[in-house]
Amino acid sequence: MARNTQVPADHHAPPITRLLAEFVATYPSRGWSDEVDHAAHRTFLNWLGCAVGAANHESVQAALAAVQMLEPAPQASILGRSEKVDMASAALINGISSHTFDFDDTHLKTIIHPAGPVASALLALAEYKGASGRSLIDALVLGIDVSCRIGNAMYPDHYDRGWHITGSTGTVGAAAGCARLLGLNVDQTAMALGIAASQPVGVREQFGSMTKPFHPGGAARAGLMSALLAQQGFTASPRALEAPRGMMQTISTKNDWSEITEGLGKTFEIVLNTFKPFACGIVIHPSIDGCAQLRAQGIAPEQIATLELKVHSLVLELTGKKEPVDGLQAKFSVYHGCAAGLTFGQATEEEFSDEVVTRPDMVALRRKVHATVDDTIEESAVELTAKLIDGRQVHVRVEHAIGSIQNPMTDAQLDGKFQGLSDPVLGPQQTHDLIQSAWVIGDASDLRDLTRLATPMSSSSR
């Protein structure tokens, strides 16, 4: 059989790999505004709470059991657990746990969850090295900028092809962050990015399974290993990202190089990061918000005859599961999200438990929800019409859900979210202390003080 040997068009790609390596290796520590630094602390805190909260989930238990078969050296902590494993395995498992509840951060322009790969790799390496909090925050800002700028350049084509953009770009972002934390020079950092460019992780077919949260974990592990290899002299193509057969032109037909080069070092993507009040796919959030508003108006689930939604096509493409059978599937069901919003006025991890998802009243209410596509409506919006059994109709339109850039969660709301996730794992007092530590992590002389707080004490010592 003949094969197509045509080389993709180069589009006069600038030396992206080298440019990003210079940015990561040479950018001055805290060379950005207070807004950027605060956004980095919000990102770290949200990631930490999500990872601790899922520490006892079955996906984390399974990943830990698999890792322990390798008899790893106890180099780094698993957040929310007492076990220690090697750095790479800690990056993997913490990345898995941080994404398990689908409650983590979202860069809305690309739907990347940037902290999962980058922070998971960085904390494992920083704990092993005894690195400072400032070095971690610096590396987090730079690593997330690399991953999101690469995502900006390829989105939406790359995502539409079926790649899970969090894993594919996160591998490079994690490599960049770890290269910075290791103090690699420009040439070594370019090699780290090049090694990572051969390891994009994750396809969207896995959404709704344990393998979806594996993607940021796998990306964290791959990025960390890329930086460690580069430190030892391992080589890669110096054009591994931008070359015609490099990563970006291989996995996307859209490559807008200006999305990487323009504003590099002047504007930072981390300030565009958002945080979820609802533990599910981001495109469901406007519908949940709207249903919570209906409930706040006094409309009870038993009053609903039908609930009509008008949504962007991406909502049904990503979250169109009408009959989810467990909590993981329900996170990709706009129908369950609406039922949760109407019934509870919220959609935390509890509302996505298997027990709630399979409750007869929730199943019945989901079946009253009907969604139709209207692409005049933005991805961030929804129109809801509740038709009540008494004949009345109540209309709600949500332009920007809580948690969006336009309607962000406050620091206090992030604290409350963290407490809800972490209290059952660490207890209220230790959770409180961990939150306080996370807010000032940039001033910490040694990250190991924080990882000790993220390790459960015995019940008698709480």
pLDDT tens per residue across span 232-258: 999 999 999 999 999 999 999 999 999
Residue 325 lies in a domain: yes
Q: Select from 398, 418, 449 the last residue of a domain.
A: 398
381 and 232 in a single domain? The answer is no
Q: Looking at the predicted structure, is the pLDDT value of residue 461 above 70?
A: no
304 and 366 in a single domain? The answer is yes
Q: Looking at the predicted structure, is the pLDDT value of residue 8 above 60?
A: no
Question: pLDDT-derived band of residue 375, with 50, 70 and 90 as boundaries?
Answer: confident
pLDDT tens per residue across span 390-437: 999 999 999 999 999 999 999 999 999 999 999 999 999 999 999 999
Q: Can you state the percent helix, strand and coil of the chain, rounding each to 5? A: 55, 10, 35
Distance between CA atoms of residues 69 and 329, nearest Å: 29
Q: What is the mean pLDDT of residues 328-343?
A: 96
> CATH number, domain at 343?
3.30.1330.120
Q: Looking at the predicted structure, is the pLDDT value of residue 12 above 70?
A: yes
236 and 90 in a single domain? The answer is yes
Mean pLDDT (the chain) is: 95
> CATH number, domain at 146?
1.10.4100.10
Percent of the chain clearing pLDDT 70 (strictly above)? 97
pLDDT tens per residue across span 44-88: 999 999 999 999 999 999 999 999 999 999 999 999 999 999 999
Question: E strand or H helix at 310, and its extent?
Answer: strand 304-311
Q: Tell me the two tokens of residue 454.
A: 């993220």
Question: pLDDT-derived band of residue 328, with 50, 70 and 90 as boundaries?
Answer: confident
Residue with tokens 């590099």: 264
pTM over cut 0.85: yes
Cα distances (Å, whole numbers) of residue 442 to 37, 38, 139: 9, 10, 11
268 and 381 in a single domain? The answer is no
Q: Looking at the predicted structure, is the pLDDT value of residue 10 above 90?
A: no
Q: What is the mean pLDDT of residues 355-370?
A: 97
Give the total number of structural domains in the chain: 2
Q: Select from 223, 251, 274 the last residue of a domain.
A: 274
Q: Select from 226, 256, 274 the last residue of a domain.
A: 274
Name the amino acid, one letter, at 60: V
Residue 31 belongs to domain spanning = 16-274
Q: What is the pLDDT of residue 11?
A: 58
Q: What is the pLDDT of residue 43?
A: 98
Asked whether the beta carbons of 189 and 234 are under 8 A apart, the reply is no
259 and 331 in a single domain? The answer is no
